[in-house]
Chain A
């Protein structure tokens, strides 16, 4: 197989293992928060497409308590620290994913489809609320990339818009929304749509996100839905028609005063300090740490989930002959 030109084990990957995060993407949210102060006065958060849970970990550590989270795999010495965590009673973190997720302290994990209408009452129930009063909705969801750019960007946009639809159902006015976005050829249309719901839309690239990657994050601040807008998961917007009368609206371009053609480019902010690790850089790690102790490779806190082709590999082994069928 061909070698890829990027080693996945970069500085943030190592850092995540050292600090007990389930994935390096935790740093993306931390750097976004450092720039936008996203967690200030936040008590109710919804984390969409949350598995394996690194963003929920960040939310849990930032909003519930400082320190390492409770994890069934964590050694005994750490459980004491974990026991000391006393969740502030009013903080509610709800994490949703279609995949099962290992529990996290102070986080309500739900296995649910974010596009399904039944998910909304479920989320509201766990928020112990009957109205939209969430301060922050975050989503780090991304599809399996096929390599067909237009399709991949479309699927990613659909994930983002599905997250937006749920966000419009749960966010309080003034709330914020953060989601992964692929900055491809039609990204300006997405920015424009987001601007309709939020006072400020910024596209942010954390330093922990590789420069060579198409991903960035939209930070949408101050939720201000247009007058008369009825949020609904039954009839979500911009995710294809759900009734005959939607057709015209799905085809028509949205437009803004400053973007009559429905394309608007969000201002860009690189976040994370220049003194932080550069995810594109190659670092020479000394063989020993600052205490002169030899560095050992740490296992990831959450082993990667089984790939979909796991059974296929087992079958090939069974067949022998290098899997050749001639």
Chain B
């Protein structure tokens, strides 16, 4: 076995000029800067077992060029390596992990000292507040390369930093600052220049007042200040100048110079940043997923003020940032997360610098004439009523008084222009727009409805309307006989007929027809309505969006409603009144549909262009249901079949109120899906592809008048304009760099993977303590998991994941009784854009008041109907209250029906597996915390539910058949009467159970326990003519005690490769909390005899808390082993 890739916590980072060194697991990675992007150049393994916790360069790379013979120091735990930079950078020079050097204690920090001629020297600070020096002279006896110095106070530290004291005369003077587990910050000094080791060293100062463990400490470059951060959620600034320069005993300081409040979780680290004279600036990073820049004017108030905050570093799933490095320019920094992500962030120089969000509050009273000058009766309180954003640089606002204003943001100064004043648009609500491009010029058509049912059309090119300000009466066209409520444009532009756009005009009358307009925009000065139709709405169907598709001489209009429904219209040129062909209700539950678009031009359909050929339209929609969805609309006019199929649904937790969705392809050919909407008070732009927030702005909620649009021109890609009304004022928010990708390395789960399952299509599903399910494909080139999609739907950490044998459905379980069924839609090529993941159903939650009821284990068997149709699945669930539920899942109805239930005992159950025998027996194996494996014969119970075995038998895809509908009456009972064997095997929890079918009703059951043992049982079943139908005719169990040094948590049989060539043996893999993966060979003899059991391979993996193993087929009969835990490692077998 050999490690091929690793995903997991990034534990150290260091800049080497513009390039970046990354400690990722046992490996060092090197990223170089090319065309303003850091990209991975190489990776080299440094240690046998240690993660790289620290990186130092010699001499400190401050400013000047690195010496050509510079060394690099890497440390982790009690090991370190000193490597010549030239050797490290040589891509062909391999490093030897055998060169790692052992330290006598855990290294918290280390620095280079002045070299002794050519021999590098380092100083290290240990977790026991002790300093040692090491002279890298391989010619002398190992222990004597070290020099030990007495500690002023031996205590356990969480943090320490060593500094070469540049203020001291001797260059090997050190200043040490340490953070203890008891909230103290210790400062002490040591001169390592002399041969002589001092008898005793005093502390220089002790800084008290932290209320919890100190996780990070640092000293300013001029040795004037120190900063510390803690479990108590504060950073504290200390004046250390006197303590560094003088040495008169130990000063005890009980008050910090200043405290920085604001982090909402533990703070892991702090750094000083360069600051202008008379100021200090500090960068901190925390478990709350933020990094913050703090500053304080030294002659001002003694408080640290947060001046810049970086929110949601990496994905929202991450819990921790473990490493941070500031670029030498101090203009940006990188963070490394527990989620394996590395991201880059820009530090603002000062408050005046252009930010990525610019906010302006417009004072419209200065632009508009005072109400009295209108001379039309009483002065009215004027306020912005409705907005239309025209790209990212301009917008139109209709005032309640009847004024229409245009605002141009393209210049450095905001320019307002009065478009016109019409008393008839007072308190207007009907205004709509859409963008259209002709010959590369981007224009907007804007439609304005007045209070009498008339509509004014204007085309805006760049910033000015091409239409003269239409105060002329003849420009207003009568569309309906009552005041319109809104105007929606269809957002699809037909390339063959670019001059036609479609808009719907709705009124306040609930059942009145909606006017659909075909508008010709060829004549820029005079857009004209060429045709109109009256669409009859279905019952209770207030329109919110429309989409018009024209092709093959046919025209269809799909409309979305305020109640989550869609309606399809077929529009013929000669009919003026059109009735809906079909209505689909509850597509977005009962919530408003907020957008509807064609995902791509249905090119395959266009090519055929036969007027009667069926059409398949790929659509996307968003809704207040909180989802954005992909659909396929099938239209067959010949057979009059209309079908709206849901292909994908995403409920981005970061945007609970989804308003729109847009996909972008950047100049660097990256596709990003951006969703925008509201979360609480914030307007949020969410990058679903990267799984992180692109931007957000606190607008005090979405229940107000607002509009947003992305940039109209390619050149401004990544910009967006958000305009809204707050307290009758117009707020203008300009977003920049929406498509910025801060990630150098893709994040994965933020917490430990608890379960791992591979589908027959090769999709790897991982479920983690961060409550997220991720789907990944396996990249053959990189030998690693490549993300497809993820869902944060569970509210608790994942317990188990099981695929259906066909790979089309995934079942997931968590705590609080959560069991979900997911439909996973894939196309031939596995890539993020083509994988759909829909939560089809949730298993019913019992009404009992058991908040902690965990569904620990799942198993799934495929169920067919008698006629051969795929009915669905039999889903087995075992839970922490010792209960077992067996349910049928109907894929047509998308519904679970419980068919049998009962209890095992009272202890927690963890495992469930089904097994079918050749003679039609249905067996169920359960195991739990009591260490027993229990065999249940449920043939009869299933029989009374209409479920029996199908002829094919294979434990890998257990297949059952169902006659008749599942009984809806009370579920059958499960109890000890169905047990055929309950075998005590382990002393306590059975953490993993695997069945290996040897055919002819012989199985091997493998179990792994918390008691460090693995059991191998060989069992032969036989049909019993009495009841129950199965009896165990032979069983041999071999318990392999102390199989691992710690709990055995995962087993994997090698599938068809399990059997050794001579057929006399079986091989399997095991792993556990000791981070070893072992390959076992079991000799099997006559009947149930088990011969020699031996470990044939044993390898260390850098994934702590291993929970799961899974094999992935990579073709050519080769397999990779995926190891899940705190991270994921891929092994070559």
Contact = CB atoms under 8 A, between A and B. Distances in A.
Given A3-B816, A265-B1042, 8 more contacts: A113-B155, A148-B322, A149-B1126, A150-B76, A183-B1046, A188-B1074, A240-B104, A325-B309
For A154, A310, A312, the residue with the greatest tally of chain B CB atoms inside 10 Å of its CB is A312
B127 A98 contact: no
At the interface, is chain B mostly helix, strand, loop or mixed?
A: loop
Interface in A250-284: 250-251, 263, 265, 267-270, 274, 278, 280-284
B284 interface: no
Contact of A282 (B233, B263, B850): B850
Interface string A273-303: 0100010111110000000000000000000
Contact of B797 (A5, A143, A188, A282): A5
Interface stretch (A55-63, A72-80, A100-108, A315-323): A315-323
A85 interface: no
A146 to B, nearest CB: 7
Interface in B144-202: 146-148, 151, 154-156, 158, 181-183, 197
Interface in B107-163: 126-128, 130, 132, 142-143, 146-148, 151, 154-156, 158
Interface string B878-911: 0111100000000000000000000000111000
A7 B230 CA distance: 27
Contacts of B929: 211, 278, 280-281
B989 A280 contact: yes
A319 B261 contact: yes
Given A185-B1075, A250-B105, A281-B906, A265 B1012 contact: yes
A185 B1074 contact: yes
Nearest to B210: A308
A3 B908 CA distance: 21
A283 B148 contact: no
A205 B988 contact: yes
Contacts of A115: 154-156
Interface stretch (A88-96, A126-134, A241-249): A241-249
Contact of A243 (B11, B148, B213, B1105): B148
B234 interface: yes
B715 interface: no
B303 to A, nearest CB: 11
Contacts of B233: 308-309, 312
A309 B51 contact: no
Contacts of B148: 241, 243-244, 246-247
B976 interface: no
Contact of B106 (A154, A207, A268, A310): A154
For A149, A205, A311, the residue with the greatest tally of chain B CB atoms inside 10 Å of its CB is A149
B142 A205 contact: no
A283 to B, nearest CB: 7
Interface string B1063-1082: 00000000001110000000
Contacts of B261: 312, 315-316, 319, 325
B795 interface: yes
B497 interface: no
Interface string A187-214: 1100100000000000001010001001
Contacts of A263: 1045
Contacts of A251: 102-104, 142-143
Contacts of B11: 148
A309 B232 contact: yes
A154 B230 CA distance: 20
A267 B104 CA distance: 29
B1011 A268 contact: yes
Interface in B36-62: 49-51
Interface string B1016-1049: 0000000000000000000000000110111100
A87 interface: no
Contacts of B183: 308
A155 interface: yes
B319 A268 contact: no
Contacts of A242: 151, 154
A269 B1011 CA distance: 7
Q: How large is the interface on A (under 10, 10 to 19, 20 to 34, 35 or more residues)?
A: 35 or more
Q: What are the 3 A-B residue pairs with the smallest beta carbon separation, nearest first?
A: A308-B212, A240-B105, A7-B852
Contact of B1104 (A150, A310, A326): A150
A43 interface: no
B1013 to A, nearest CB: 7
Interface in B222-264: 230-234, 261-264
Interface string A131-152: 0000000000001101111100
Contact of B231 (A4, A144, A183): A144
A158 interface: yes
Contacts of B1010: 205, 211, 270
A187 B1046 contact: yes
A150 B51 contact: yes
Given A265-B1012, A278-B907, A282-B852, A214 B881 contact: no
At the interface, is chain A mostly helix, strand, loop or mixed?
A: loop
B852 A323 contact: no
B853 A282 contact: yes
Contacts of B486: none
B930 A274 contact: yes
Contacts of B130: 240-241
Given A5-B797, A149-B1104, A284-B881, A241 B104 contact: yes
Contact of A308 (B230, B991, B1046, B1047): B230
Given A183-B1047, A205-B988, A4 B797 contact: yes
Contacts of A267: 1041-1042
Given A5-B797, A211-B1010, A284-B850, A269 B907 contact: no
B908 A281 contact: yes
Nearest to B213: A144
A280 to B, nearest CB: 4
Contact of A284 (B158, B797, B815, B848): B848
A6 interface: yes
Given A158-B127, A281-B929, A311-B211, A265 B1045 contact: yes
B930 A268 contact: no
Interface string B272-310: 000000000000000000000000000000000010010
B698 interface: yes
B451 interface: no
Nearest to B197: A244
B814 interface: yes
Contacts of A150: 50-51, 76-77, 1104
Given A148-B11, A246-B104, A281 B211 contact: no
A247 B104 contact: yes
A311 B256 CA distance: 15
B127 A183 contact: no
B831 interface: no
Contacts of A184: 1046, 1073-1075, 1104
Contacts of B882: 281
Contacts of B815: 3, 5-6
A241 B230 CA distance: 27
B403 interface: no
A216 B61 CA distance: 46
A239 interface: yes
B658 interface: no
A185 B49 contact: yes
B796 interface: yes
A241 B150 CA distance: 9
Contact of A268 (B76, B987, B1126): B987
Contacts of B322: 148
Contacts of B76: 150
A33 interface: no
A2 interface: yes
A10 interface: yes
A125 to B, nearest CB: 22
A65 to B, nearest CB: 32
For A248, A274, A315, the residue with the greatest tally of chain B CB atoms inside 10 Å of its CB is A274
